[in-house]
Amino acid sequence: MKKPILTMCLLLAATIVISAQQKNFPKLAGPYLGQKPPGMTPEIFAPGIVSTGMSESNIAVSADGMEIFFTNMATGTETLITTRFENGKWTEPEVAAFSGKYLDGFPSFHPDGSKLFFHSYRPLDNKSLIADVVNIWYVEKEGTGWSEPKPVGAPINGSEFVSGPSVTRTGTLYFCRKPKTGGEKVFRSQFLNGQYIEPEMLPDNVNCVPDIFHAAVSPDESYVIVPVAGRKDALDGRINYYVSFRDSKGNWSDLINLGKDVNNGRNSAGPSISADGNFFFFEAYPDFKWAEYHEKRHSYEDIKKFALTQPSLYKTDIFWVSAKIIKELRLKELK
């Protein structure tokens, strides 16, 4: 009789812990986790909820703003975390049902909400423990949930490293491909007659350095955001975000620096554009408030709580800013 009683006690204890966690999670309502939309100055997105002390990266937000996926890198690998608005409130972030086993990162919604793309080390043959290279996968919307992951297949996946997918309203998939000879570049593959066609590399004025990491295309395919390190026009020694605009004939402009408000010396390589096209998200290290932190003595419990709930000095967070900064840059630079 002792074993059943012990089991019941453990279950009760677990229920109490989970209940306490749920009570501590704020009741949030409205699109984008109920966050106040930013203006032309970047702000940390959902501090303590999405942007914590656990190294967050690329984020995907559905067109209605009511479902979110983002990449967590706390374990040194990549895991997809999700939260959504249901029953009148946002759910507490949790590992996506189809993630948590393999490296899964850089989610991107199809603008119509029917699919979510991401890159992954999960094996293509269902036999290996992990794949030799990163490939691009997707899940399809099924009611309020998602299907099992499916590889996008050839000619995108294969023997070369492909990562950082983003998708347009017409289904064209943008991604980075790294051949075995090295040098990661931005490619695009159109979705025609139910399948992807042979990818084409974007021109040299976009792929202007040996390695381009995780570019992101706008839903209407009017521009692409590219994180680049080492250009002479960089505003600091770290990665800078640039934009290239696409005209009606499919030609791409030279890269244009997004300016000092975005490129402030703390950036990493995780850009994305919300599925509604209204916001630009990017990965960066926060401006840690040293003076505020040192205003009082911190206990061990304070430090642990801070590490799990607040932006951290040495770990990246997700920032967002109105996409109007890109539209205004286009008017200024291409008039």
Residue 23: its pLDDT value, please?
55
Residue 112 placed within a domain: yes
Residue 237 placed within a domain: no
Task: Give the closest residue to 317 by CA, choosing from 268, 276, 275.
Answer: 268
Q: Which H or E run contains 200?
A: strand 200-201
**Residue where the block lists tokens 């999405």:** 50
- Helix/strand/coil percent split, the chain, to 5: 15, 35, 55
User: What CATH number is attached to the domain comprising 65?
Assistant: 2.40.128
Is 335 strand, coil or helix?
A: coil
Residue 111 placed within a domain: yes
Task: Give the closest residue to 214 by CA, choosing from 163, 180, 262.
Answer: 163
Residue 268: its pLDDT value, please?
83
Question: Domain range for residue 162?
Answer: 44-197+265-287+301-322
The greatest distance separating any two alpha carbons of the chain, rounded to the nearest whole angstrom, comes to 81
Residue 12: its pLDDT value, please?
44
Chain segment 50-104, per-residue pLDDT in tens? 999 899 999 999 999 999 999 999 888 899 999 999 999 999 999 999 999 999 9
Residue 296 placed within a domain: no
Residue 283 placed within a domain: yes
- How far apart CA 183 and CA 161 sit, in angstroms, is 11
Number of domains making up the chain:
1
Chain segment 202-226, per-residue pLDDT in tens? 999 999 888 788 899 999 999 999 9
For the chain, the distance separating the N- and C-terminal CA atoms, rounded to the nearest angstrom, is 81
Residue 131 placed within a domain: yes
The pTM (predicted TM-score) of the whole model is: 0.88
Residue 174 placed within a domain: yes
Residue 297: its pLDDT value, please?
92
Residue 311: its pLDDT value, please?
81
Residue 334: its pLDDT value, please?
67
Residue 128 placed within a domain: yes
User: Residues 18-34, buried b or exposed e (16+ Cβ, 10 A)?
Assistant: eeeeeeeeeebeebbbb
Residue 335: its pLDDT value, please?
65
Weakly modelled stretches of the chain, pLDDT under 70: 1-23, 334-335
